[in-house]
Amino acid sequence: MKSLVLFFMMTVALGWAQEESPKGITLTITLENVLNDQGDILAALHTQDTFMKGPGIANYKAEAQKGQMTFTFDNVAPGTYGVSVLHDLNSNQRMDYQSNGMPDEPYGMSGNDMSMGPPSFDSVSFVVGTGDQDIAIRF
């Protein structure tokens, strides 16, 4: 009887441990060339539905650090995503523009596509599978 109770308790404990384990992968983002310590770094993980429309499905904010910065998005489910990053120099939580409509603050996207005009989801997207991933982004 003691063995049966012990077996039952171990089975329940293992079930709880499995429920608490992460359900997705860790996506590590490395910003390769932050130009200065001014302002904040704002980043967002996007699906096609959220891309260029506001906050992502996961968001990151930290004080800018000159040089290289690394951060993660945890528990990312398999799918297709894009990452946008803004060096918000004046910490006003948005992209500032010059009078001609060009961005006035450094930014970068997964895929590192810096063509003229707004980026498309297709140019920044990548597929998340079952293994952790690393992405490098340059401003």
For residue 16, name the pLDDT band (cuts at 50, 70, 90).
very low
Helices of type H across the chain: 2-20, 121-124
Look at 134 and 3; give whichever has higher pLDDT: 134
Q: Cβ distance 43 to 59 under 8 Å?
A: yes
Q: Is residue 120 part of a domain?
A: yes
pLDDT in tens, 45-77: 999 999 999 999 999 999 999 999 999 999 999
Residue 37: predicted pLDDT: 97
Predicted confidence (pLDDT) per residue in 117-139, tens digit: 889 999 999 999 999 999 999 98
Spatial separation of the C-alpha atoms in residues 104 and 125, rounded to whole Å? 24
CATH number at residue 124: 2.60.40
Residue at 12 is within a domain: no
- Which residue range forms the structural domain that includes residue 51? 24-137
pLDDT above 80 (res 4): no
**Total domains, the chain:** 1
Is residue 16 a part of any domain in this protein?
no
Q: What is the per-residue pLDDT for 86? A: 97
The answer to whether position 54 is within a domain reads yes
pTM: 0.82
> Which pLDDT band, with edges at 50, 70 and 90, does 116 fall under?
confident
Residue 4 lies in a domain: no
Is 17 a member of any domain? no
Give CA separation, 118 vs 64, 65, 95, 138, in Å.
24, 26, 13, 16
Q: Is 91 a member of any domain? A: yes
Q: Is 53 left (phi over 0), alpha (psi -120 to 50) or beta?
A: alpha
